[in-house]
Chain A
Amino acid sequence: MNIKFNYIILFGIPGFILLIFFLGLNTNNKYDTRELVGNQINNFKLIDIYENKTITNLDLKENNFTLINFWASWCSPCRAEHKYLMDLKSQTDLRIVGINFKDKEINAKNYLKELNNPYYFLAKDINGKISIKFGIYGIPESILVDRNLKIIKKYIGPINEKDFNEIIKIVTKL
């Protein structure tokens, strides 16, 4: 009995580990947030960087479209996409919610002073946890959500001219 038990343990545990390894081989371990398109965004609550007000998922229902943009002052591609954000703000009624990722507040404010502020609301995310909940793995990234909080588009990397035109098209269609 005892010997049998030993056999089961000694063969069972490595067997189990090897089985998990085998199954693991077939899972896609490349974390790809592109698949999030079509999903609804979760409940959230953000705190503004300038004044002490908060915003939740319910506030986004006021507007047809919202672009949630993740950025930081230390991120150079963010500078590249900034002019498109400014243009989106001036040319459409799209609301842009900025989430300032792992940044120093003073640097973020100086950055916006220098390049102007495209954000309807700017939230701070000092340790990056909020962004991760949104399915972000690097910045800049942006998600375009509709009134029902469904993710319509996801832009990984800086928004470029093509993305800009696409957003304009989606937003002005209605």
Chain B
Amino acid sequence: MLSNIGNTLIILNILVTLIIIYSSHLSLKNQEVKISKKIYDLSLAQSTISIVTFFVLITGFIVSDFSLITVFQNSHIDKPLFYKISGTWGNHEGSLLLWINVLVLFSYFFLILNKKTLKNYRLSTLIIQNFLIFGFLLFLLINSNPFSLVFPTPNIGLGLNPILQDPALAIHPPLLYIGFVGSSIYFSAALASLITDFKGKLFATSIKLWVSISWVFQTLGIVVGSIWAYYELGWGGFWFWDPVENASLMPWFVMTALMHSLFVLEKRNTLYSWVIVLCLSTFTLSVTGTFLVRSGILNSVHTFANDPSRGLYILLFLSLMIFSSIGIFLKKYKKENYDFNANSKETFILINNWFMAFFLATVLIGTVYPIFTEVIGNIKISVGPPFYNIVILPLVIPFMIFMALAPNIKWIKNSLDNFLPLTIIIISAIFLNVLIINFFKPYSIQSSLITISSLFLIIHTLIDLIKCLKKKVNLDYSRIVSHLGFGLLVFFIGINHNFSIENDFNLKIGEKKIFENYKISFNSVKIEEQKNYKTIIGLFNITNLKDLSQETLKPEIRIYSNPETLTYETSIKSKLSYDLYLTMSNINRSDFYNIKFQKKPFMIWVWISAMMIALGGFMRIFKSEH
């Protein structure tokens, strides 16, 4: 039953999409100044159908309708309701439906919120966006249909991978999708702008809000994914340079560059072509990332079941997108003259863009290079953290210096009059770094430079904040919060990296382990039965031998029944100044447990600063609404 409803809705949606394209096309030619009500209604209908389709699939998961192959493969009767629902987008087909919802909703809201802009520009955006929607709907219907039937209907489902049964992972995909699928709207708008000659400042104003929204959600999505990796994957790290993390980071770099360049386009009415290139690249990179992840061409934790036909479809679609955008861009491209003064805000924003382009190129090369070596030379290689650390980290130092300076540089031409305060800030940053090294322990020169430059950014931004609060002029709080967040993020990651304590060892129940001021006692284990898993909980006492403070940590080994999987749940005690992190795993046929203990200083501040970056973006959304 649900299968029929779902399929009917998808087909209906395809029809509505085609009608929107057709009637918008007709409307382009007529002389009316306003867009007809019919198109608004059609768009609203399209949004409603998409949302209803999604709810039909959610219903399938809630009532455990195992006649649907997607539900059968990814759900189970015994699963808690919350994870039945989140299981809807924990698989390829369901997440594609979510993807289409984002495409459709952004299309609708762009249409209704931009009533002041040129009619033909809005209609063209709508047409292009609907071509995208059509492409993905077709893909959904033919290749990745979440409403496909499995016959005969199985009695039980295969269950959702236990590591995905987690609150962070329930919200991570929707956040990320609003981010990178949301970027589709300014992809469409950029092409529409080229076609209709709707240029410059007005164009910047029309997409500003959407760039901010997608940027904020992309940032949040990445952060939530990292938090999940930190406590779920059990090795204490939070960024792996895994192809799929890279796939989310690449559009983020371009979005960030775009957000900054939009200021220049809005204020100075220049950099138009560059902004267009950035708009087009963001969504292109999002689809490229999706291709890399979904086609199974790269192996990663996010690879869904491998299906080459799926990859082929996305690749065809991607090619079409890339070539038509390049074609339109070249046809409409007009050379612009940039005569920026070297010491002006424009130049500093361009510098931001160069850094972003560099980071993007590094991550892109690192991600796709293994595919190239394999196809061309049949050599299997993998590019890991050492590559990214060597190439990216040194560049973060000047990046943060420019990030601190740029906001206070004037448009058009700046004068050099703040030399003294800058020297004082630099000296205090160096002084603080010396203090840290003196009181704790020395670290490498590169780490020192990164700490100094992050402190420089933090102090400089704090001074800006004080200035803003005092004078109550030019209240750019959103920028201050984001930049401060970035400075703190780099600072705390550095501290965390340099001062973490880690130890692996084997213990039997009742034994103790003493090292570096810590005593770890393995007191007991208890076994508990939960709804869909059995768990072995270890009771550990961690004693700090310096101040004799005690903590109890309870890592678990969970045995899930559907699918039968063993997971190791980390036990984390988060405090303001450090996290205690403990995982245990059993060693077969022995009484020993393998214990991994870590003390990670300021871990919670890494998350708080990352959230601050996103918070700044939120503030910008509301500011641009005003």
Binding site for B on A (CB under 8 A): 6-7, 10-11, 14-15, 17-18, 20-27, 29-31, 74, 76-77, 79-80
Contact = CB atoms under 8 A, between A and B. Distances in A.
Given A18-B318, A18-B322, A80-B588, A24 B375 contact: yes
Most chain B beta-carbon neighbours within 10 Å: one of A6, A14, A29, A31 = A29
Contact of B374 (A11, A18, A27, A77): A27
Contact of B375 (A14, A27, A79): A27
Contacts of A74: 504, 594
A79 B590 CA distance: 9
A22 B315 contact: yes
Across chains A and B, which 7 residue pairs bring their CB atoms closest together, nearest first?
A76-B588, A24-B371, A23-B375, A76-B587, A25-B311, A24-B297, A14-B322
Contacts of A14: 322-323, 326
Given A7-B330, A14-B323, A21 B291 contact: yes
Contacts of B298: 29
Contacts of B380: 31
A10 B284 CA distance: 14
B299 interface: yes
B326 A25 contact: no
Given A10-B326, A18-B319, A24 B374 contact: yes
Contacts of B374: 24, 27, 29
Nearest to B299: A29
A6 B330 contact: yes
A25 B315 CA distance: 10
Interface residues of B, number: 30
Given A18-B315, A22-B315, A79 B587 contact: yes
Contact of B588 (A15, A25, A26, A79): A79
B604 interface: no
Interface in B563-593: 586-590
Contacts of A29: 296-299, 374
A58 B588 CA distance: 37
Nearest to B372: A20
Contacts of A7: 330
Contact of A25 (B297, B323, B594): B297
Nearest to B319: A18
A101 B67 CA distance: 47
B295 interface: yes
B312 interface: yes
Nearest to A80: B588
Contacts of B372: 20
A145 B587 CA distance: 30
Given A79-B589, A80-B588, A10 B330 contact: yes
Nearest to B504: A74
Interface string B273-300: 0000000000000000001000111110
A11 B326 contact: yes
B168 interface: no
Contacts of A31: 380
Interface in B489-527: 504
Interface string B357-382: 00000000000100110111000100
